[in-house]
Amino acid sequence: MKKLYDNLIGLVRDIVANRKFLWQMTRRDFRQRYLGSYLGILWAFIQPAVTVMIFWFVFQVGFKSAPVDNFPFILWLVCGMFPWFFLSDAILSATNSVIESAFLVKKIVFRVELLPIVKIASALVVNLFFVGVLLMMFAVYGYPPTIYSLQLVYYLFAMICLVLGISWLTSSLTVFMRDIGQFVGMMLQFGFWGTPIFWNLQMIPERFQFVLKLNPAYYIVEGWRQSFIYHEWFWQHPHLTAYFWCSTAVVMFAGAWCFKKLRPHFADVL
Each domain of the chain, given as residue ranges in start order, spans 2-269
Is the pLDDT reported for residue 4 higher than 60?
A: no
Q: What are phi and psi of 256, to 5 degrees?
A: -65, -40
Greatest extent of the chain over all pairs of C-alpha atoms, in Å = 58
Q: Across the chain, what does the average pLDDT equal?
A: 82
Instruction: Kindly report the pTM of this predicted structure.
Output: 0.85
Over the stretch 195-207, which tens digit does the pLDDT of each residue have?
A: 888 777 777 777 7
Question: Of the candidates 18, 227, 191, which has an alpha carbon nearest to the alpha carbon of residue 111?
Answer: 18
- Worst-scoring range by mean pLDDT, 7-11, 181-185, 223-227, 235-239? 7-11
Give the mean model confidence (pLDDT) for residues 56-63. Answer: 70
Closest residue by Cα to residue 182 from 194, 192, 174, 191: 174
Are residues 227 and 151 in contact, defined by beta-carbon separation less than 8 angstroms? yes
Residue 21 has pLDDT above 90, yes or no: no
- Lowest mean pLDDT across 60-64, 97-101, 223-227: 60-64
Rounded to whole angstroms, how far apart are CA atoms 33 and 120?
13
